[in-house]
Structure 1
Amino acid sequence: MVLSASGIIIQRKKILLLQRSNYTQLYAGYWGCPGGRAEPGETAEQNVIREVKEECNLDFLPTEIIKTGDWQGRKFYRFLGKWTGNIKIQEEEVVDYNWFTFNETQKLQLAFDYKEIVDLLHYKSLI
């Protein structure tokens, strides 16, 4: 089974979301958290650290698993974590980024299960 993971990055009750480019046909133009498919031999934690660094240049330390699941033959992990650094997007896979409040996320086209993730974070008063 293919493994994938994403990092949930929060600052001052806002969530960092990246807008997906046409690099992938799946959910092109939609918004989501930085993440992606693991390389062979990577753990979910190693995967999310690498993907967050690649997609938005932040150093990410996963601290809590918010959700796991299976989707189209993939085992996925959604990690909440601590982060440092300055955002610089990987322009091949990401066309834009921004920090969003819960209410602002309701107007976006969210990829994968990120609507559920945003709702969960709001319920937990994180955003």
Structure 2
Amino acid sequence: MTGVLVADGDRPREGGPGRKEVEVAVGVLVRGDGAFLLTSRPEGKVYAGYWEFPGGKVEAGETVEQALRRELIEEIGVEIGAVHPWRVERVDYPHALVRLNFCKVYEWTGELHMHEGQQCSWETLPVKVQPVLPGTVPVLKWFAEERGFAGATHAG
């Protein structure tokens, strides 16, 4: 993990300099053909309409894996198989300081069902959906590095 990615740095931060970091479990679902799942943030949430990898807050007493399993059932209706911790990124959003625990998932059961009214899209590089949440951009860069796509992280 490196430093902190600052999103919308021109906007004031809620909670001041001593605010608590929010632990988040993020699922990077990857199909056999290499496509990965992005979902849009639902109406009523901060950054509504932005595209991200599904997941959510780690609750007290939960591990990242437990939170990811719970969140993906709640959000997109699938039960996941093995969880492969991948990378961690800290992002300072105006509304929250988050620690994103990205985990790759290659196996799941159930049909995708967007329980929060969000949209979903299976993407490859460069991604077609826009706008992409700032915390998602590093993951696209990591995929580009792994797959040999220099600079081809998102459409623009």
**Structure 1 length as normaliser, TM-score?**
0.83
* 2:30 is the counterpart of 1:27: no
The structure with the largest alpha-carbon Rg is 2
* 2:72 is the counterpart of 1:37: no
Structure with higher strand content: 1
* Paired residue total: 122
Q: After the TM superposition, which segments of 4 or more aligned residues of structure 1 sit over 2 Å from their partners? A: 69-76
- Whether the aligned pair in 1 keeps the contact of 2:51 and 2:129 (CA below 8 Å) is no
CA distance in 1, matches of 2:78, 2:105: 11
- Whether the aligned pair in 2 keeps the contact of 1:32 and 1:114 (CA below 8 Å) is yes
Structure 2 portions without partners, runs of 5+: 1-20, 150-156
**Structure 2 length as normaliser, TM-score?**
0.69
CA RMSD of aligned residues (A): 2.1
- Whether the aligned pair in 1 keeps the contact of 2:85 and 2:101 (CA below 8 Å) is no
Structure 1 portions without partners, runs of 5+: none
Percent identity over paired residues: 22
Cα pair distance change 1:32/1:40, threshold 3 Å: same
Cα pair distance change 1:42/1:13, threshold 3 Å: same
* 2:121 is the counterpart of 1:101: no
CA distance in 2, matches of 1:70, 1:122: 20
Q: Deviation per CA, 1:89-108, whole angstroms, max 9, x where unpaired?
A: 11x3x4210101112x1552
- Whether the aligned pair in 1 keeps the contact of 2:41 and 2:49 (CA below 8 Å) is yes
Larger relative contact order (Cα-Cα within 8 Å, sequence gap ≥ 6): 1
